[in-house]
Structure 1
């Protein structure tokens, strides 16, 4: 059924039908001058109830679809919305300027900071230009150049994660993809300035972790974070990418799962319907959380910050085996 929404996920279609009917009655009431207030009120209540029912019971696969929604706010959307001033910087000083990674200096809440993250496209043409947010080695070298600049001039670092994975092409390996990501991981543990990392959409594999070592790791409610995209995981384990839904269940990619595993520190609620349904409200929620987190981390001494950051990531993956008697 046609809808005024630019893009619909399959599970959103029943809600879109109600919203379309609601819009039709509103238009009819405006044109005819008749009183349809009761019908409008009933449909508004039905739409709200359906929206709540859908978005509070999403499966991991549906969460992934929301995280990949083409209208979901991107890194540049958030940076430009939350910063008072923003100046983008380009290049890795090695001959490359990867458009899949954006970053620069900004003024956030009255304070100079460096902001950076992966940038997906809004349509097919833009996605091709941005390589679908999958960074090359040059992208990670650009990121670490900006973060070193931040550390040198005592500016906090805010990173925004939104990538299915790092670029896995032959040229990426030839130019040292693994080394570039590993170098970032090592150096981010050394920085003395506060680092706040936010998963705003899809956080996949080492591509996400290459800018994901922080004092605080935050996730938006409908974002995902995993060791590999479910399609890749299914292709590796079962030689069948069609089993991606099964892989998504097993990978524990949702924010509640990752909070329970102590991989992330905080889950930020999204507007009902997802961040793409109300980008302004989503931006306000994110900005408030970043101000709060930055204040907490900035209150620590540089040594305490580095020690806590190191210990935070050392603790990931620690588990206990329970005996049958226990």
Structure 2
């Protein structure tokens, strides 16, 4: 999913919105009255090579989470290699510099997918985006190749723009063809129209400590922040500005915080996690990041932004 933005540049588009579709306003941007349509699905971040390699080879993370390293082939044969920590409804995708080609593989690049839980909600998001002033949202479909050379429809998605500095967010809705393919290892629907995150992810998280992402904090440029705001509002998040000029978006179970920073300071900063059971305090240094688990049923993972010393 890391290549979702690049895929949008290569697949047929219905339109491209201009960058900078809005700017944060003081306080609560507007009353939240509409039904929540989008929920935090996952985020990815491109880390320095030392940290990415430490994540990949960490014995602790393999015990802590439903963890895997895989190379994925998406639309037009684009590939990327990620380190994945999967929870019940949410997951993380961590990459190193160069693990994906082009702009998306540079240090500090990041992205975030927010998804529907009910089939047919994505067109409603599209209408709300237009109400937010995005005249021509970008619509596209992503595919996944399981290794036989045949692309399987994976999800439909919406962007506010294909122009970005280092961060992009997209709305997404999983396709029925993906759920129907046994290689996706998805679960049966819990109700009619179920295209939700819990169905998409396996129950293997139960054998580990990590349960879900409860909060995430990223540094993004002002331009990327402005392009993300209409999508968050259209999804039904309660978006409020911070004193420093960033925003927090709440509702849906995961708090999203985006700090406005220069490009050199962009990237993944902090992840808060819920645990399946209480744990004693444990501090694990992983490259230039620190995962602090417990005491209790929460964990916090912090990341150092910017280039490593001497790099």
TM-score, length of structure 1 as denominator length:
0.30
Larger proportion of helix? 1
Q: Could you say which structure has the larger radius of gyration?
A: 1
TM-score, length of structure 2 as denominator length:
0.32
Instruction: Specify which structure has the bigger relative contact order, considering alpha-carbon pairs within 8 angstroms and separated by 6 or more residues.
Output: 2
